[in-house]
Amino acid sequence: MRKPFLEYLIKQVSENWESSESNNITNKHLGNYTPRQNEWEQQQVERSPFTKQILIVDDNPDITITFKKALEEENRNDNNRISFQVNAYNDPLLALIDFRPDFYDLMLVDINMPKMNGFEFSTRILELDVNPRICYMSSGLINQEALREQYPTLSIGCFIKKPVTIEYLVRRVKAELE
């Protein structure tokens, strides 16, 4: 049985979705969109302690694709035992619908997105997951104190200023996961 919040999200996404190539990162068409949670409930996902699950939510498809490829490419270049498995979304509502509690080791969330900003997204995540680790991304200036006052329930500590080099992104993700 689905939670009312997920039903609300599915309805919102279905009503507001504009089909475009940039939103196809999920490889779903919303006319018959089925949340991935149904697939995941049927699968027993075996997780290695050396595989880190990363969620990227950014409305810019260039960023989600670039960051996803960079982190997954690091798996081939890194002699460490740690590897990254990345899920990327251009729509925060779809990310919420497909969200799996206690699954992601780190979330990279853009602050400025249409429909729902990164902090609203994080507030909703807190309803589904008790202890998420979130890195916020923004190309603008951030007043962290004002944000802490506006969103007191969020742990606002990790920020990544865009544009960012791939080397810095990978280094920062690894540092956040330690």
The string of DSSP codes covering 32-51 is G---HHHHHHHS-----TTE
Q: How far apart are alpha carbons 68 and 86 in whole angstroms?
A: 6
pTM above 0.85, yes or no: no
Q: Please, are residues 126 and 97 in contact by the beta-carbon 8 Å criterion?
A: no
Amino acid identity at 58? D
Separation between Cα atoms, residue 119 and residue 71, nearest integer Å: 23
What CATH number was assigned to the domain covering residues 4-177? 3.40.50.2300
Per-residue pLDDT of the chain (178 residues), as tens digits, is 445 555 655 555 555 544 434 444 344 434 455 566 555 554 445 567 788 999 999 999 999 999 999 999 987 766 667 789 999 999 999 999 999 999 999 999 999 999 899 989 999 998 999 888 999 999 887 777 777 677 766 776 788 999 999 999 999 999 999 8
> Tokens 């779809």 label which residue?
94
Cβ atoms of 155 and 147 within 8 Å: the answer is no
Please report, for the chain, the start and end positions of each structural domain, with discontinuous segments joined by +: 4-177
CB 105 within 8 A of CB 54: yes
| CA-angle at 129, arms to 155 and 68, nearest 5° | 80
